[in-house]
Structure 1
Amino acid sequence: MSQDGTQAIRRAAAILQRIAHVTEQEPPTLRGISQAVDLPRSTVHRILKCLTDEGLAHYDPKSRRYEIGMLSYELGLAVTDRVLQLVPWTTAVDRVAARANVTTYLMRRSGMEAVCVHKAEGRTVIRVIPVEVGQRRYLGVGAGATALLAGLPDETVNRVIAAVAPDLDAFADLTPERIRDAVAQARRTGYAESEGRAYSSIYGLGIGVKAHSEEPDIAISIAAHAPEVDKARIAEWKSIIDEEIAATHAAIKARAAAQ
């Protein structure tokens, strides 16, 4: 493949990632996408036209916004070994949500972002859902994404924070310094916590898991209404998550030994 062809693919991938990474500050309009990927509007428009023609992206003429197309969704449904390896962890998330009675997420690291691959809701009257399945968040934004960031080398952490710093104004109370503090705390305690920093009135708790890599590549996190959270509940949630992670690792190991 020619260098131009490779460049076009990289640009198209960056544009699709930006469309999936929805923020109010930079909605997926032609202008917002162009600014986010640092490409001329004419270039972005040409690539978007191709993506929409092929069904990988969709354009809403009323809102003038782009969204992920049906073909991208259909491709994501393809069952592979990597997808099947996540099944025990989606089950663990379901169990955590049932036991802890809070919204629980499975986040997967994807470059400088974390993508929500599974969500399970508790039975509480007030349901806290800052992230939907398929949505992407920068590493360091939210408890699960911070837990994933904390598992990376210092050099990578600094590079990620520098890259996402210009977009932190879109969140409630996030700065590069606060992300560094949260990373340091996660490394000390094993858990990342976020109270009102990414999303106001939301408490988040997350832990990175080494599922398929030497570094944490997935994270289990919960989100709760901050005024209802106290130290006793946090301790209970940590215990539940620890138990379900240990049980999942044991089940995976036993299954591998039986094959």
Structure 2
Amino acid sequence: MTTENLRSGTQTIQRCALLLRLITTHNRAGMRLIDLYRGAGLTRPTTHRILQALVAEGLVRQDENNRRYYLGSLVYEMGVAAAPPLDLRDICQPMLQRVAQETGDTVFLTIRSGLDGVCIGRAEGAFPIKAFVLDIGRRRPLNIGGGALAILSALPDDEIERIWSANRARIEQNYPTFSLEKMWKQINNSRVDGYLINEVVEVDGIRSMATPIIGTMSRPVGALSISALRERLSGPNIADKVSSLQNAVATIQSRLKEAEFASMDL
């Protein structure tokens, strides 16, 4: 294989991965072809050709009615096969449900994926007005969102600075109201109080409350967050929700230790 062919093959794989990430981020509503080729910075014919190949392999499906693209069944099968022996989502899901039941609000589980935060779990409370700020699979820069900021708060300052530098261009482009000064204030508050309160940048009137989940290596493995109307996360409403969130995280961290010890005995 020539160097040129190798370069071309690598580029195709990168483009496939980019399109899959875009579809993953918007899988709940699906994506139109025009949104995909604009979002990927590719031509329409190139994007269409790659999508048809992904559809043929079962990695992507196209709805016959609205013509939008969604993740295919093979992605789910691969995800199940790739799941680590210690599945954070399985450990956290009962706690998400418990916090949602106790608070009435929507609860999210966020993990780090490189320079991004990714929502991998959600539970809905009984309060009739839902704060669906994140779909499962939604990916954002690690500086954006309560759960992501909670993860950052448990990292060393120099690592936070590197993440900010790497994400700066797309944050300034996509999140113009973002404030670096406010980010550091929230991180410091989280380190002191054990939780932070964040104004959701994409939706007016919605707040999130988040707490990091610390793994057995004293590194953050994720974060639990609550999203609700601003008045539900302010004033006297905060104390009970902080307690619910922190108790859930403490239980998760205890179960992570138990799971780690159990795996060492095998």
* TM-score bin (small chain): 0.7 to 0.9
C-alpha distance in structure 2 between counterparts of 1:101 and 1:149, whole Å: 27
- 1:171 is matched with none
- 1:121 is matched with 124
Alignment of 1:78-227 (within 5 A): 78=81, 80-82=83-85, 84-150=87-153, 151=155, 152-168=159-175, 174-177=176-179, 180-190=180-190, 191-211=195-215, 215-227=219-231
Change (3 A) 1:88 1:153: same
Which residues of structure 1 form unaligned runs of 5+? 169-173
Work out which of the residue numbers 25, 34, 52 in structure 2 matches 1:21.
25
Deviation of 1:101 (Å)? 2.7
- 1:60–1:66 contact (8 Å) kept in structure 2: yes
TM-score, normalised on structure 1?
Answer: 0.82
C-alpha distance in structure 1 between counterparts of 2:185 and 2:88, whole Å: 29
Asked whether 1:33 is paired with 2:36, we answer yes
C-alpha distance in structure 2 between counterparts of 1:214 and 1:28, whole Å: 39
**Per-residue CA distance 1:116-150 (angstroms, 9 max, x = gap):** 21111222233322223233334333321333345
Match of 1:107, as an amino acid? T
- 2:109–2:224 contact (8 Å) kept in structure 1: yes
Deviation of 1:214 (Å)? 6.0
**Which one is further off, 206-215 or 2-11?**
206-215
Deviation of 1:79 (Å)? 6.5
C-alpha distance in structure 2 between counterparts of 1:234 and 1:226, whole Å: 11
Change (3 A) 1:82 1:106: farther
When Rg is computed on C-alpha atoms for both structures, the one with the higher figure is: 2
Asked whether 1:65 is paired with 2:68, we answer yes
TM-score, normalised on structure 2?
Answer: 0.80
Change (3 A) 1:20 1:95: same
Report the number of matched residues.
249
C-alpha distance in structure 2 between counterparts of 1:224 and 1:202, whole Å: 6
C-alpha distance in structure 1 between counterparts of 2:200 and 2:260, whole Å: 41
C-alpha distance in structure 2 between counterparts of 1:140 and 1:60, whole Å: 34
Change (3 A) 1:86 1:64: closer
Work out which of the residue numbers 234, 243, 248 in structure 1 matches 2:247.
243
Work out which of the residue numbers 233, 237, 254 in structure 2 matches 1:233.
237
Change (3 A) 1:7 1:211: farther
* % identical aligned pairs: 28
C-alpha distance in structure 2 between counterparts of 1:247 and 1:196, whole Å: 27
Deviation of 1:203 (Å)? 1.4
Which residues of structure 2 form unaligned runs of 5+? none
